[in-house]
Structure 1
Amino acid sequence: MWHLLEPLHAVLYYAPAAFDEAAALGYGVAERWPSYFAWRAAPLGAVGSTRVSSAFYSFAPAMTAWYVPAAWDVATPAAVLAARLRAVDRTYRTVLGDDLLRGPELAEAAALTRRAAGAAGSAGRPLAAANAELPWPEAPHLVLWQAATILREHRGDGHLAALLAAGLDPAEALVSFAAVGAAAETTFASRGWTDAEWAAARARLAARGLVHPDGTATEAGRALRAEVERRTDELAAAPWAALGPEATARLCDLLGGPWLTVIGSGLLPAENTLGIGKV
């Protein structure tokens, strides 16, 4: 379900319409990070960089501090959230087409995804809780996006808990993920860690027997990452258990077409830090 829903959420961060909306608010659009931090952090309110670093986890604190709280000097969180929905609306209309958006299958998919999101617990899940508190839009395609966002942030919050339980700090989380071949180290450089910080994290993992000197994972390192992913999936299971196997299978069928269309749009990067293949 994460593989199906994540691209439907993440297209916001790359779509031309989103950059248009960000520019209209006053954000720089030469790179995606000014709007990314604004779009994703806005549900938390006008918070500072420490809280955003805590919730985002894998970004270097210095990188987060570059964009937050400066983001709220450009536009208020309320203005960002309104523009976020406009960006999703424009993007879905362009990528998926009005005929699909008006169809009964999209409405059914939105309703099922909202039901699953409603069963996503908020305890210890700051980003999921912040998005769950937002009012629901009326249009089914916007309901689908918002529900997908709650579910992906719910899973992400649980992933951070799994990383913490595994004793992996933010930099180590990325180094260990690169070590198992999730993506090239150059891809993970987008999270803002310096070469010295990356090397120090690798040294800490090597001291634990989790990576070889060349940075590739040892057997123990692969086992630890596998346990992190297993625990992440386990912590993300409640919404789908509540929805039930038949409704979940139906949602899989309904999401297949939109998923293929978003994947085929070329908007999302082929290699990414999420580790979900060709997002």
Structure 2
Amino acid sequence: MWHLLEPLHALLYYAPEAFDEAAALGFDTAERWPSYFAWRSAPLGAPGPARVASAFYSFSPAMVARYVPEAGEGSGEAPAAVLAARLRAVDRTYRAVLGEDTVKSPELAEAAALARRAAEAAGTAGRPLAAANAALPWPEAPHLVLWQAATILREHRGDGHLAALLVAGLDPVEALVSFAAIGAAPEPVFESRGWSAAEWAAARERLTARGILDADGAVTDEGRALRAEVEQRTDELAAAPWAALGPEGTARLAELLGGPWLSAIGSGLLPAENTLGIGKV
């Protein structure tokens, strides 16, 4: 379900319509990070870089500080304006990528209703990003309901993933180094998270000392087992919404998402290589 829903959420970070909305708010759109941090952190209010770095986990705090203003800077209405623009961006993007016929179809409305049921069953205790998105009012249009549900569910899973990493004793940069080592994506792709070469090398040394990597930086059997444990725990922590929806409802939602998923993947907007595994099955 994550593989089906994540591309529908992630279009926001790459679509030209989203960059248009970000530019109208005054964000620099020469690169995607100013709008990415704005879109994703807006449900938290105006948290400042320290809280954003904590919630996002894998990004270097130094990188976050470049794009997220200190709490209290700027207008107190800014988060509300960003949230409104975020929905406009999704509306325009879905109409462009999925097509008007799909946006208005009964199948998409059914998918939105099922996804909302799952999202509303997602527990948010100890999950700050899931809780912040779940606290937002639901939009009326089914395609926006689908996007908001996908967002709650992906942040619910993501918050649980961070808990699994903490239990495994993997700090933010170690999580990336170990993820790259098992072939999730080439190391240069993970440079987008802003860690310096020295920080990356130090993390590799710590993982080598633990026996997670060997002397050449390749993952060991122990390292593969640890990453498998992280993924299994992540799945377990993400299971409650789907248990609540039930096997029939979940299977029906998966069926309904096939067309929109293909449209999102086929749009060419999402990068072929990324740190999230978008598009891999």
Letter aligned with residue 16 of structure 2: P
Give runs of aligned pairs for residues 14-29 of structure 1, distance below 5 A: 14-29=14-29
CA distance in 1, matches of 2:69, 2:212: 36
Q: What does residue 65 of structure 2 align with?
A: 65
Letter aligned with residue 22 of structure 2: A
Preserved contact between residue 12 and residue 18 of structure 2 (Cα < 8 Å)? yes
Per-residue deviation, residues 220-252 of structure 1 (Å, max 9, x unmatched) = 000000000000000000000000000100000
Q: What does residue 162 of structure 2 align with?
A: 160
Give runs of aligned pairs for residues 117-196 of structure 1, distance below 5 A: 117-196=119-198
How far is 1:213 from its partner?
A: 2.4
Q: What does residue 267 of structure 1 align with?
A: 269
CA RMSD of aligned residues (A): 1.3
Per-residue deviation, residues 157-213 of structure 1 (Å, max 9, x unmatched) = 000000000000000000000010100000000000000000000000000000122
Q: Comparing 269-278 with 246-255, which one deviates more in the overlay?
A: 269-278
Letter aligned with residue 64 of structure 1: V
Tell me the matched-pair count.
279
CA distance in 1, matches of 2:266, 2:215: 38
Letter aligned with residue 37 of structure 2: F
Preserved contact between residue 122 and residue 156 of structure 2 (Cα < 8 Å)? yes
How far is 1:121 from its partner?
A: 0.1
Q: Kindly, what percent of the aligned residue pairs are identical?
A: 81
Give runs of aligned pairs for residues 17-96 of structure 1, distance below 5 A: 17-69=17-69, 73=74, 76-96=78-98
Preserved contact between residue 46 and residue 79 of structure 2 (Cα < 8 Å)? yes
CA distance in 2, matches of 1:4, 1:99: 20
Preserved contact between residue 39 and residue 86 of structure 2 (Cα < 8 Å)? yes
- Unaligned regions of 5+ residues in structure 2, if any? none
CA distance in 1, matches of 2:171, 2:143: 36
Q: What does residue 205 of structure 1 align with?
A: 207
Preserved contact between residue 58 and residue 170 of structure 1 (Cα < 8 Å)? yes
Letter aligned with residue 178 of structure 1: A
Q: What does residue 233 of structure 1 align with?
A: 235
Preserved contact between residue 116 and residue 243 of structure 1 (Cα < 8 Å)? yes
- Unaligned regions of 5+ residues in structure 1, if any? none
TM-score (ref. length: structure 1): 0.98
CA distance in 2, matches of 1:214, 1:256: 41
How far is 1:275 from its partner?
A: 2.6
> Where does structure 1 differ by over 2 angstroms across 4 or more consecutive aligned residues?
70-75, 275-279
CA distance in 2, matches of 1:22, 1:119: 31
Q: Secondary structure at the match of 2:126?
A: coil
Letter aligned with residue 21 of structure 1: E
Q: Secondary structure at the match of 1:258?
A: helix
CA distance in 2, matches of 1:237, 1:95: 29
User: Cα distance 1:24–1:276, how it changes in 2: closer, same or farther (>3 A)?
Assistant: closer
